[in-house]
Amino acid sequence: MNNPLLESFDLAPFSKIKSEHFLPAIKNGITVAKKEVDIIVNNSEAPTFSNTIEALDYSGELLDRVTSVFFNLNSAETNEEIQKIAQEASPLLSEFRNDIALNINLFKRIEAVYQQRDELNLNAEQYTLLEKRYKSFSRNGADLPDDKKEKLREIDKELSQLSLKFGENVLAETNKFEMLLTEESDLAGLPDGAKEAAKAMAAAKEKEGWLITLDYPSYIPFMTYADNRELRKKLALAFGSKGFHSDDLDNQDIVLKIANLRHDRALLLGYASHADYVLEERMAEAPAKVFSFLNEILEKAKPAAEREFKQLESFAKDLDGIDQLQKWDGAYYSEKLKQKLFDLDDEKLKPYFKLENVIDGVFTVASKLFGLQFEETNEVDTYHEEVKTYNVTDLQNNFIAVFYADFHPRPGKRNGAWMTSYKSQMKKDGDNIRPHISIVCNFTKPTPSKPSLLTFNEVTTLFHEFGHALHGMLANTTYPGLSGTSVYWDFVELPSQVLENWCYEKEALELFAKHYETGEVIPMELVQKIKDSSTFMEGMATLRQLSFGLLDMSWHSKDPSGIKNVKAHEKKTFAETSLYPDTESTCMSTAFSHIFQGGYSSGYYSYKWAEVLDADAFEYFKENGIFNTEVAAKFKDHVLSKGGTENPMTLYKRFRGQEPKPEALLKRAGLIK
């Protein structure tokens, strides 16, 4: 069979790929990668950095490319066929990874090079790669006895299938729920744009009325603006109970199995818990440090959060006689209170944030800071007609990257926003091979009468994902295993979170925040209101973020075998951070995709950790001007281009001249004066 994935390709040949091409291509990629590893293992020459460590890092390129195409489609444009292939392919990939990680002869060669590391005259990047390779084998059971290796293989195979099933259930639950409204009075309070989108959604499904779903662009406006409290409750309970219905889409057993298997795996490898295992390769280093970090911020945030909650309660009581504020009231009354205090309404802001203008804005910011140019092109093949593609060059017209952007929700696309890569940057055979980077979001769609107008939150999301994309696009390392976002997990959010800061600055907003009908630049009083309101309810927002980090650690930092009831465990964990009354029919863990499907297990704290870095880093920009090219060049040279070539704190200090201080974050959040 002619398989486009097995022909040599630079750009992913999306339009030629059929579902049946994936499994043969993945199997072929595994075979090729195994042969490449066999050549390394059977080399009769003594192990060297070049013939073992370098050779291993450059191996598996075909498999990496095929799987990056496949798994991104499984997130952004999936269907039952692709999901079935994922269930079949995941155990094969897990087994292949274990074949490599548990190959004792390969490990012996790596170990031989590692033991001579101080005599090899390696540069910093080579030294890091050697250390990373050695640890990836020693940490993953290469020197375990055979019976334990077999056990590890079984665990990894089961984990790969369980996390896929978890994600499929969450997506199916999201797609299954529909709230069809036939009375216009039920939409009272909803902005015209949200009504129009709901009408269009119903029409697309050949239904009369207005359709509200659990996709963010539908869910969030309804929870924020709809006056009908009972309907908000219905929607919130549906959203909060994904994977928690004791039916065939239930995730409770899957959560318990994943947590226990991760713990068993950690014990097998000689670690006290999954968190101990994970954090050894993070800036935070150990669970105790994560708990102390989260609790230190909790101590500062909790009093502020409790004050804000009381303020919100009395506001809701005065306005509507609400005696007990519930979770489905939070966004609604927060928005009303924000409008009252700051005379600021997301609906007043949206006309200034037409999607195309915001895209131009983020490109202009990247151009002013890092000298990049973005040119839209129709020459790049895509997996869906909505995907936009760009050639990225520097000011001397040197090619930097291909950039894909996919902005709107679809039935086959999971919620949220993420960045991914179709081709890694590396230097090989004298060439600097440039990357192909993609961001995927779920923003409000255009309607018949309006273009896609973003909420301010969606604007910051676009800047956030674009920050990740810059980390990928500006990568400039030798080895693919250290390139771009291949960094410690609690460092990876720094480029994304730091870029969000430009959304709050007059100088940046004036570049792109222009009214979609009149072209008028956003008035300064609105910019000031955005800044003034940026710390509004920040205590509550911080508490919520900390609660997710603590929930993650509660699943992974100790033996979970005593946990029999997912909901009861979660309730106990949230006791310190909850403000709203609990609702028995909802459960966060059963849809907590970050930790049970994505790579954030024992790592959710890293969003807050990176906020400390980003607040400190942006302080440096502000001291010198937010478009200061010297500071930007230091950020590019020491952070964005360096990937994981050195310890992240070393890179950060080279950029900043000092370690980050949490005060910058607490001050920015208005939690300390």
Tell me if 571 sits within 8 A of 582, measured CB to CB.
yes
Query: What pLDDT digit, counting tens, does each position of 532-584 carry?
Result: 898 999 999 999 999 999 999 999 999 999 999 999 999 999 999 999 999 99
Q: For 56-60, 190-194, 270-274, 403-407, which range has the lowest pLDDT when averaged over its residues?
A: 190-194
pLDDT-based confidence at residue 665 (cuts at 50, 70, 90): confident
Q: Please state the rounded mean pLDDT for residues 247-261.
A: 98
User: At 40, phi and psi to the nearest 5?
Assistant: -65, -45
- Mean pLDDT score of the chain, rounded to an integer? 96
Residues 6+ apart with CB under 8 A from 636: 369, 370, 474
* Alpha-carbon span 256 to 590, nearest angstrom: 10
Please give the pLDDT value at position 673.
Answer: 73
Query: Residue 117: is it exposed, middle or buried by C-beta count within 10 angstroms (0-12/13-18/19+)?
Result: middle
Q: For 1-5, 26-30, 153-157, 516-520, which range has the lowest pLDDT when averaged over its residues?
A: 1-5
Handedness of CA 383, 457, 447, 329 (dihedral sign): positive
* Alpha-carbon span 412 to 302, nearest angstrom: 39
Please give the pLDDT value at position 661.
Answer: 82
- The tokens of 391 are what? 């050639």
pTM exceeds 0.75 for this model = yes
Bridge partners, residue 427, by sequence:
432
Query: What pLDDT digit, counting tens, does each position of 407-427 carry?
Result: 999 989 988 999 999 999 999
Residue 583: half-sphere exposure toward Cβ, Cα within 13 Å = 19
Query: What pLDDT digit, counting tens, does each position of 238-251 carry?
Result: 999 999 999 999 99
Distance linking the first and last C-alpha atoms of the chain: 67
Cα separation values, 186 from 195, 230, 346, 627, Å = 11, 10, 21, 47
* Alpha-carbon span 59 to 504, nearest angstrom: 44
Handedness of CA 162, 163, 169, 172 (dihedral sign): negative
Please give the pLDDT value at position 668.
Answer: 86
- The tokens of 384 are what? 């869906």
Q: Please state the rounded mean pLDDT for residues 373-384.
A: 97
Tell me if 438 sits within 8 A of 72, measured CB to CB.
yes
pLDDT-based confidence at residue 598 (cuts at 50, 70, 90): confident
Kindly state the percentage of the chain with pLDDT values over 70. 100
* Alpha-carbon span 366 to 439, nearest angstrom: 15
Q: Please state the rounded mean pLDDT for residues 315-337.
A: 97
pLDDT exceeds 90 at position 331: yes
- The tokens of 298 are what? 């909790």
Q: Please state the rounded mean pLDDT for residues 205-227.
A: 96
Please give the pLDDT value at position 282.
Answer: 92
Please give the pLDDT value at position 355.
Answer: 98
Handedness of CA 602, 283, 156, 560 (dihedral sign): negative
Cα separation values, 174 from 167, 591, 596, Å = 11, 10, 16
Residue 562: count of CB within 10 angstroms of its CB: 7
Query: What pLDDT digit, counting tens, does each position of 622-662 carry?
Result: 999 999 999 999 999 999 999 999 999 999 999 999 999 88
Residue 188: count of CB within 10 angstroms of its CB: 12
Angle 41-43-49 from CA coordinates, rounded to 5°: 80
* Alpha-carbon span 296 to 306, nearest angstrom: 16
pLDDT-based confidence at residue 347 (cuts at 50, 70, 90): confident
Please give the pLDDT value at position 3.
Answer: 96
**Please, what are the domains in the chain?**
4-143 (1.20.1050.40), 177-240 (no CATH)
The distance from CA 149 to its chain's CA centroid, rounded to whole angstroms, is 31
- The tokens of 437 are what? 């980077």
Please give the pLDDT value at position 270.
Answer: 96
343: left (phi over 0), alpha (psi -120 to 50) or beta: left
* Alpha-carbon span 444 to 162, nearest angstrom: 32
Query: Which ranges of 226-286 would DSSP assign to H, the alpha helix?
Result: 229-240, 252-268, 274-279
Query: What pLDDT digit, counting tens, does each position of 462-519 carry?
Result: 999 999 999 999 999 999 999 999 999 889 999 999 999 999 999 999 999 999 999 9
Query: What pLDDT digit, counting tens, does each position of 133-191 carry?
Result: 999 999 999 989 999 999 999 999 999 999 999 999 999 999 999 999 999 999 999 99
Q: Please state the rounded mean pLDDT for residues 357-375.
A: 98
Query: Residue 210: is it exposed, middle or buried by C-beta count within 10 angstroms (0-12/13-18/19+)?
Result: buried
Indicate the DSSP class of residue 398.
Answer: -
The verdict on whether 465 is a catalytic residue reads: yes
| Residue type present at position 654 | R
Please give the pLDDT value at position 1.
Answer: 65
Query: Residue 568: is it exposed, middle or buried by C-beta count within 10 angstroms (0-12/13-18/19+)?
Result: exposed
The distance from CA 503 to its chain's CA centroid, rounded to whole angstroms, is 19
Tell me if 4 sits within 8 A of 16, measured CB to CB.
yes
* Alpha-carbon span 586 to 588, nearest angstrom: 7
- Which of 54, 465, 500, 611 is catalytic? The answer is 465
Query: Which ranges of 388-523 would DSSP assign to H, the alpha helix?
Result: 456-473, 493-500, 506-512
Q: For tokens 């500062």, what's the residue?
A: 300
Q: Please state the rounded mean pLDDT for residues 593-598.
A: 93
pLDDT-based confidence at residue 346 (cuts at 50, 70, 90): confident
Spatial CA neighbour of 410 closest among 436, 387, 389, 388: 387
Cα separation values, 156 from 148, 219, 263, 560, 603, Å = 12, 35, 12, 18, 19
Please give the pLDDT value at position 508.
Answer: 97
